[in-house]
Amino acid sequence: MESKGGIESREWHGCRRIGFVATALLALVALGGCNDSNNGDTINVNGLDCGLVRDDMVGRWTVSYTQATRSTINCDNATFNNKPVTVVGGVTNNFDTVTVIASPGSTSFTANASGPVGKDNELMANIEADSCLALVQIWEDAEGGWVQCIGTADLANRLLNVICDSFDLDTDADGAADTACSLNGSITGTVGIP
């Protein structure tokens, strides 16, 4: 008959072996979840990465809205509450001069583009490489600010169906947002990516 200490020792070693085997198996499965897309990019296909690479954002972007008029509410500066924001439906705006860089602060790519008005940042977009969740900001010249839209990039169909629920004003006309506002209702739109 073995001592109690010997039985515990064998049980502990058996549990340790099972833990090692389970860890090794998980490591092998994780390696199988990646592939090389034949251009040097590693794409994780196990649900943690949507497959976005920089080239997905380079080229012409388009933006179109469903006709809507909303009002600004809950602005950082209350004097800008109740300002109308109108987007025209049935018109597609093109953004051809797009600069795309990797974000220095997250796992995403950012795009800036001039558009119909000729401002350098008429379109600003950030798409997360892991989820393809996107924030797109589009300049509205008559209102002097950017409509803020959120959507998920559909890389197969090259578009984002977006919901826009906030507006950033450039109240001092320096080319940067300085007053953030919510909208009293959503605006819907479609953003075409290259």
Q: Output the DSSP codes for 22-81.
A: HHHHHHHHHHHTEEE-SSS-EEE-SSS-----GGGGSS-EEEEE--EEEEEES-SSGGGT
Global pTM reads: 0.74
Structure tokens at 21: 């085997």
Task: Report the candidate in 130, 157, 134, 133 with the shortest Cα–Cα distance to residue 45.
Answer: 130
How far apart CA 111 and CA 9 sit, in angstroms, is: 59
Q: Does residue 43 carry a pLDDT above 60?
A: no
CB atoms within 10 A of CB 182: 16
- Most confident stretch, 5-19, 48-62, 137-151: 137-151
Confidence of residue 32 (pLDDT cuts 50, 70, 90): very low
Confidence of residue 103 (pLDDT cuts 50, 70, 90): confident
Confidence of residue 22 (pLDDT cuts 50, 70, 90): very low
Give the start-to-end residue ranges of the domains of the chain: 4-44, 54-192
